[in-house]
Amino acid sequence: MAHSFHQALSAAIEARGLTLERLRAHLAEQGHTVSAATLSGWQRGRIRPGRHRSVRAIAGLETILGLPEYSLVSLIGPPRQAGAATPGKPVAHEQLCPAGPSVRPLLAGLGGEQRPLLRTLTCHDHIVVGERRDERLVRTTLTLKSVGSGVDRYVAIHYNEHGRPPHDLHVNACQIGEVRTDPANGLVAAELLFDRPLAAGETYVLDYTFSYRPPGPPADCRYRWFRQWAGFYLLTVEFTRPAIPAKLYRTWQPSGTAPLVSLAPIRLIAGTSAHIAETDQRPGLAGLRWEWS
């Protein structure tokens, strides 16, 4: 059984008996411009599909090759972004968050956001959705590594697209510094102060929770914006009965203004929870969305 994208694609092409030129022609009929050389690169594993138009073309290949929906798309991972941030060059808040222009003034005066001096090795977001289909809490556990000496804080930002900032913030392994809110845009920025400044190369584990007094805002998606590369991202969502979604999808956006790409359907575990796990997470917005009916 093929487990990689290029193996699955190669097996499907062989099974259908189509030449790459015929595949190219069929894709062109669907409105996808892909050269035979690119198809060959995908088939041999020399080229990884990396743009949104490539993802759409892969979905077209599924139809042409008679494959189940998402069977190829789910194997390629998040699309790459042209001009993505390097480890030392985070992308701007304005590029990722719909309320991005409001983030920068919110951060002003918080002692300077020090994320460029921190690398995210692991990130785990755990979401609880209440019985009213509302967001109840977001618990985040981060493993951070300092790339410079003297880093003494992390600025946590919570955004809710319905303009509902959370009511409470609880932390472990740190102290809460200054907290600033922008209720009109659903934004909160909070300083999480380490117990001491970090030395270069030192790691630190943070655990913090933003929560709502019920009922919280409507919940039909959850994503995290990554300004820089992260080693591993785990998103878990816990649904409270009877609020169980009918469908769930892993999603990706290279920016807050780019079209949302549903990469693959996600199955519920034990009927009440779902998750995604991503290694080598690139800058952009990674998450889950769900449909109630």
At residue 59, φ and ψ (nearest 5 deg) are: -60, -35
Tally Cβ neighbours within 10 Å of residue 52: 17
Quick check: is 157 in a domain? yes
Nearby residues of 92 by Cβ (< 8 Å), 6 or more positions away = 100, 227
Write the CATH number for 257: 2.60.40
Strand order in the sheet with 175-182: 151-159, 187-198, 175-182
What is the spatial distance between Cα 15 and Cα 20, in angstroms, rounded to a whole number? 13
> Is residue 200 one of the residues assigned to a domain?
yes
Handedness of CA 86, 90, 93, 97 (dihedral sign): positive
Is residue 282 within 8 A of residue 226, CB to CB? The reply is: yes
CA distance 272 to 235: 14
**Residue of 262, 234, 238 lying closest to 250 (CA atoms):** 262
Q: What pLDDT, on the 0 to 100 scale, is given for residue 1?
A: 41
Q: Which structural domain range is residue 99 located in?
A: 93-291
Contacts of 249 (CB under 8 A, 6+ apart): 262, 263, 264, 265, 266, 288, 289, 290
Distance CA 257, CA 126 (A): 25
Is residue 87 one of the residues assigned to a domain? no
Structure confidence at residue 132 (pLDDT):
96
Cis check for the bond before 215: say yes or no (omega within 30 of 0).
yes
Last residue of a domain, one of 44, 75, 106: 75
- Domain co-membership, 181 together with 276: yes
Q: Which one of 46, 75, 104 terminates a domain?
A: 75
pTM of the full predicted structure? 0.72
Quick one: DSSP state of residue 138?
E
pLDDT at residue number 83: 42
162 and 256 together in one domain: yes
Q: Residue 292: which residues within 8 A CB-CB, separation 6 or more?
A: 133, 220, 243, 245, 246
Task: Looking at the structure, tell me whether residues 256 and 130 fall in a common domain.
Answer: yes
254/216 same-domain check: yes
Structure-block tokens of residue 230: 């992260």
Are residues 268 and 137 part of one domain?
yes
CATH at 29: 1.10.260
* Residues pairing with 126 in the sheet: 139, 236
Regarding whether 283 and 148 lie in a shared domain, the answer is yes
- Residue 162 forms part of a structural domain: yes
pLDDT score, position 72: 78
**In a shared domain, residues 186 and 113:** yes
- 118 lies in the same domain as 213: yes
Q: Which residues of the chain have pLDDT under 70?
A: 1-3, 50-53, 69-70, 73-74, 76-89, 100, 109, 111-116
Same domain assignment for residues 116 and 200: yes
64 in a structural domain: yes
- The dihedral built from the CA positions of residue 101, 285, 201 and 206, taken in this order, carries a sign that is positive
- The answer to whether residue 130 sits within a structural domain is yes
Per the structure, the count of domains in the chain is 2
Same domain, 155 and 41: no
Residue 86 belongs to a domain: no
98 shares its domain with 69: no
Q: Per the domain annotation, does 80 fall within a domain? A: no
Amino acid present at 135: E
User: Both 155 and 57 in a single domain?
Assistant: no
Boundary residue ending a domain (45, 75, 105): 75
CB atoms within 10 A of CB 201: 10
